[in-house]
Amino acid sequence: MSDVISSFFKGLEDSGHQSLLERQRGKIRFDVLGGRRVDHWLVAVDRGDIAVSHGNGDADCVVRTDGPTLEGIVTGHVNTMAAFLRGQMTLEGDLEMLVFFRRIFPGPPDARGPARRTVEGVMS
Amino acid sequence: MSGELVKILDGNTFVVSDDTGDIEASLTDPTGLFSADTRFLSRWLLTVNGDRLTALSTDDLQYFKARFFLVPGTGTVYVDSKLTVIRTRSVGDGFHEELELFNHDESPVDLTVRIDVGADFADLFEVKDALQKKGTYSTEVQDGRLLLVYERETYRRETLISASSPAAYDEHGLTFEVHLDPKERWSTTVDVVTALLGAGVRKWHAKYAHGAKRARPNMEKDLETWVEEAPRVESDWEPLKATYRRSLVDLAALRFRPAIAAGGSLPAAGLPWFMAMFGRDSIFTSLQSLPFTPELAEVTLRTLAAFQGTHVDDFRDEDPGRILHEMRYGEMAAFEERPHTPYYGNADATALFVVLMDEYHRWTGDTKLVRELEQEARAALRWIDEYADLQGNGYISYKRRNEETGLENQCWKDSWDSISYHDGRLPGFPRATCELQGYAYDAKMRAARLARLVWKDVPFAERLEKEAADLKRRFNRDFWVDDGEFFAVALDADGVQVDSLTSNNGHLLWSGIVEKSKAKRVVEHLMGPRLFSGWGVRTLAEEEGRYNPIGYHVGTVWPFDNSFIAWGLRRYGFKQEAAQIAAGILDAAEFFDGRLPEAFGGYPRSLTRYPVQYPTACSPQAWSTGTPMLLLRTMLGLEPIDDHLIVDPGLPEGIGALAVLDIPGRWGHVDAFGRGLIDMERSGPRMGRQLGQPRVLSAKGSRSGKGGRRK
């Protein structure tokens, strides 16, 4: 099991609450295929409150993917929508759950953001 | 073949064929079956005994259904055939085609009926830019069906073809051997189903059963309901009724059902190449159609909110709070050769999202949705202050971070030369175009209203109003061109005015950022001979360096632009001028059988006597389709105030009586009436086909209408 993925979900669990998911209620499960085993991450969202478990329970949205793809996603190197269109993830159930969930995946780590000029000079 | 293309569609699935129903596309030829921004069929040729067919007639039965009456043989002066072929095609998840053959002869015939099939799986962007594919193709002949496959790594797209009658399938098509006795009829149906694999949208069953005549069981019914449920328009001026009807049906065709909207739909930008979600286009069209079809605004708000930016992503020009510009599902988006997953490079949709939210609330009273979207509205407002002020001068400006495939011009006038100085020079980046500041002002004022009424946050409302007032004061100082007495189209990277006279001044009226004392001069410019053509307001004024009456954003008249200008004129009390613009644009609509093009030439009306259409691949265009609806609103002066709909007509005289019946809103349903009393002299409607030199108005006043509460 990837440490990167584990620590992402651990961090999520520790946060207890995600304000960007306050309109969401439901469960999303990530099934991560690695060789002959499948890891399950089940995230229950209740108006922003988060509970993470490692089980194979029922979910409103099931995302199937492989380790490297999910690692890329939780580190901001892979874009969720693009990976989905490429077929690196498949989805069963409520697509909206994933659309909202992507809010809490990190963005690209090397992003500069808009170059904004201030009275002192240029900041980025 | 006449060269006329036949287009049918349902959402983002559409079929473009020649007038016989055949598809014979090259990489650059825009015919085919398209779905999810991918061409799933590039070859679909019907032959009988090896002969191609000739169209006797073609009927676009509905926007989702066409019928082709065909006979064998091509290119002769007349046809003398004993055989008729009728091909009826309906679009669904792919398409459904019924073939009927009639033998009119007195002797039996044996026929080989063949459909040649091929798919290049081109991305829409590849069709536009003629790019080469990177994946591999394969074909599988299965029992009773033909499967066409394209694969690139984990990306897989499939087209499945199957017929209801026995056929011989090979890698390049399917063949029916048909025996027809005298006067006998034979028929079969063929289904073409598209699949996006790996993406979890695998569906082998078309939404229709074999033998069913409709692509989707309730599509015809759905269109009927759509038209029936919309308000009715009554007028002495017949063409206006036809234009309204055309708009309503076209708007139905432009509906796009996002996968996350639970079956609801929002307006896509244009047909067929822009059947996708566009922030700006969906918002403007939703604003235009609010009095008629408010459900479009609701789905637009929900969907744009769901995809609101939350990251800083340079490739997608994404920032937290930013509203998307365009979303695509094709191969190039999937492999990040294009940034549309989604792409956020616009500088206006974020403020307009808040504007729409408030306008939607004023009409529908849907407090629940506004409460739900509070977080997104606040994030949008934060984007204006924290991410959009690139120059640190308190104004929204834009400069793309994706320099390879991002958009250079992130305002609605998005062509390369649309923003220019009076002498024709182009400014550098960032650019702070004027209308963006107007939208920001309006967004803050409207959000302040929502903060008080719905979010119950008075300090936030006060802060927004204070910021808006400050913005207005600075804007009227910094953008006002003193010697010309109008607002500059932009400030350049050095904060210097980009001093050309443009239609953007009208959007400023709409947003309310113009100080009252300056409004009269602005209106004189808009209605003066340099901007007003007699049909409408030009994008760029005559005598400007880059003025060209057939230049995309540098002289043409855009119906959508004019509808918002008319709204702006009403906002500042210029009733007659608003009526004159409505008259000009609606007159023009008559020349296009009620379907306004994206843009038409800026030639003076007195010169051409008819509007010269700008050549464009997309028709109908959503915000042109919404234009007559907004003009109906501005002519009747419809304004929702609390739980009432105020009606304050200002109609061109030639229009006679006008009634819009059953306008939905927080008041239930009401009717609005008006009578045209504003004398347009010769430029008014009904005079449309005569010479119409714009003239100084002589107002006789306008009788006020009434709003009758019903239901």
**Which of B253-257, B303-307, B347-351 is predicted least confidently?**
B253-257
Give me the mean pLDDT over the A74-81 stretch. 96
Find residues 250-309 of chain B whose CB sits inside 8 Å of chain A.
259-260, 306-307
Facing residue for A119 by CB, picked from B312, B387, B392: B392
* Chain A residues with CB-CB distance to B375 below 8 A: 19-20, 22-23
* Chain A residues with CB-CB distance to B314 below 8 A: 108, 111-113
Higher per-residue confidence, B498 vs B194: B498
The overall pTM is greater than 0.95: no
* Chain A residues with CB-CB distance to B321 below 8 A: none
Higher per-residue confidence, B608 vs B540: B540
Q: Give the position of tokens 């793809």.
A: A69
pLDDT at A122: 46
Q: What is the dihedral of CA B514, B516, B517, B523, to 10 degrees?
A: 70
Burial of A60 (0-12, 13-18, 19+ CB in 10 A): middle
Nearest chain A CA: its distance from B421 CA (Å)? 23
pLDDT bracket for residue B73 (50, 70, 90): confident
SS (HEC) of B119-139: CCCCEHHHHHHCCCCCCEEEE
* Chain B residues with CB-CB distance to A96 below 8 A: 260, 306
Tokens of B176: 């029916």
- Decide: helix, strand or coil at residue B265: coil
pLDDT at A34: 85
* Contact (CB<8Å) A95/B259: yes
Report yes or no: B653 at the A interface, CB cutoff 8 Å. Answer: no
> Which residues pair with residue B68 across a beta bridge?
B58, B87
Give me the mean pLDDT over the B667-683 stretch. 79
* Chain B residues with CB-CB distance to A82 below 8 A: 333-336, 341
Facing residue for B329 by CB, picked from A85, A89, A113: A85
**Which of A116-120, B218-222, B361-365 is predicted least confidently?**
A116-120
* Chain A residues with CB-CB distance to B336 below 8 A: 79, 82
Chain A: residue nearest B386 by CA? A116
* Chain A residues with CB-CB distance to B276 below 8 A: none
* Contact (CB<8Å) A20/B318: no
* Chain A residues with CB-CB distance to B387 below 8 A: 113-114, 116
Chain A: residue nearest B305 by CA? A100
Facing residue for B198 by CB, picked from A87, A111, A116: A87
* Chain A residues with CB-CB distance to B347 below 8 A: none
**Per-range mean pLDDT, top range of B91-105, B532-546, B667-681:** B532-546
Q: Find, among B615, B655, B618, the residue nearest to B635 by Cα.
A: B655
* Chain B residues with CB-CB distance to A19 below 8 A: 375
Report yes or no: A19 at the B interface, CB cutoff 8 Å. Answer: yes
Find residues 223-252 of chain B whose CB sits inside 8 Å of chain A.
none
Chain A: residue nearest B318 by CA? A113
- Report the C-alpha gap between B498 and B488 in whole angstroms: 6
Nearest chain A CA: its distance from B156 CA (Å)? 7
Give the model confidence (pLDDT) of B459-472 as tens digits.
999 999 999 999 99
Half-sphere exposure of B384 (CA within 13 A, CB side): 28
* Contact (CB<8Å) B306/A100: yes
* Contact (CB<8Å) A113/B318: no
Report yes or no: B314 at the A interface, CB cutoff 8 Å. Answer: yes
pLDDT at B78: 59
* Chain B residues with CB-CB distance to A92 below 8 A: 200
* Contact (CB<8Å) A82/B319: no
Give the model confidence (pLDDT) of B274-286 as tens digits.
888 999 999 999 9
B155-163/B83-92 β-pairing = unpaired
Chain A: residue nearest B314 by CA? A111
Find residues 46-85 of chain A whose CB sits inside 8 Å of chain B.
76, 79, 81-82, 84-85
Q: Give the position of tokens 């295929």.
A: A33
pLDDT at B693: 33
- Residue B77, pLDDT > 70, answer no
pLDDT bracket for residue B401 (50, 70, 90): very high
Facing residue for B390 by CB, picked from A81, A92, A117: A117
pLDDT bracket for residue B189 (50, 70, 90): very high
- Report the C-alpha gap between B246 and B621 in whole angstroms: 12
* Contact (CB<8Å) B260/A99: yes
Chain A: residue nearest B309 by CA? A103
Asked if B316 contacts B341 with a C-beta cutoff of 8 angstroms, the reply is yes
Nearest chain A CA: its distance from B26 CA (Å)? 25
Q: Give the position of tokens 């499948």.
A: A38
DSSP conformation class of B615: P
- The radius of gyration computed from the CA coordinates of chain A, to the nearest angstrom, equals 16
Report yes or no: B342 at the A interface, CB cutoff 8 Å. Answer: yes
Facing residue for A85 by CB, picked from B199, B372, B401: B199
- Report the C-alpha gap between B173 and B113 in whole angstroms: 11
* Contact (CB<8Å) A79/B318: no
Report yes or no: B203 at the A interface, CB cutoff 8 Å. Answer: no
- Report the C-alpha gap between B464 and B690 in whole angstroms: 50
Report yes or no: A87 at the B interface, CB cutoff 8 Å. Answer: yes
Report yes or no: A121 at the B interface, CB cutoff 8 Å. Answer: no
- Report the C-alpha gap between B31 and B11 in whole angstroms: 17
Report yes or no: A23 at the B interface, CB cutoff 8 Å. Answer: yes
**Which of B191-200, B497-506, B557-566 is predicted least confidently?**
B191-200
Report yes or no: A109 at the B interface, CB cutoff 8 Å. Answer: no
* Contact (CB<8Å) B392/A116: yes
pLDDT at B703: 35
SS (HEC) of B382-435: HHHHHCCCCCCCCCCCECCCCCCCCCCCCCCCCCCCCCCCCCCCCCCCCEEEHH
Chain A: residue nearest B340 by CA? A82
* Contact (CB<8Å) B313/A107: yes
Give me the mean pLDDT over the B305-315 stretch. 97
Chain A: residue nearest B327 by CA? A81
- Residue B218, pLDDT > 60, answer yes
ipTM score for this prediction: 0.94
pLDDT bracket for residue B60 (50, 70, 90): confident
| pLDDT above 70 as % of chain A | 92
- Decide: helix, strand or coil at residue B503: coil
pLDDT at A117: 63
Which of the residues B302, B313, B327 would you substitute to probe the A interface, choosing the one with the greatest number of A C-beta atoms within 10 Å?
B313
pLDDT at B79: 61
Report yes or no: A17 at the B interface, CB cutoff 8 Å. Answer: no
Nearest chain B CA: its distance from A18 CA (Å)? 13
**Which of A61-75, B198-212, B637-651 is predicted least confidently?**
B198-212
Mean pLDDT, rounded, of chain B: 90
- Residue B205, pLDDT > 60, answer no
**Which of A78-92, B564-578, B613-627 is predicted least confidently?**
B613-627
Give me the mean pLDDT over the B175-185 stretch. 97
pLDDT bracket for residue B93 (50, 70, 90): confident
Which of the residues A85, A98, A110 would you substitute to probe the B interface, choosing the one with the greatest number of B C-beta atoms within 10 Å?
A85
Per-position DSSP letters for B202-245, written without gaps between them: ---S-SS-TT-S-SSTTHHHHHHHHHHHSPEEEESSHHHHHHHH
* Chain A residues with CB-CB distance to B372 below 8 A: 23
Which of the residues A22, A23, A86 would you substitute to probe the B interface, choosing the one with the greatest number of B C-beta atoms within 10 Å?
A86
Per-position DSSP letters for B70-101, written without gaps between them: EEE--S-SS---SEEEEEEEEEESEEEEEEEE
pLDDT at B663: 97
Give the model confidence (pLDDT) of B678-711 as tens digits.
666 544 444 333 333 333 333 333 333 333 333 3
Count CB-CB contacts under 10 A for residue B227.
Answer: 13
- Decide: helix, strand or coil at residue B554: coil
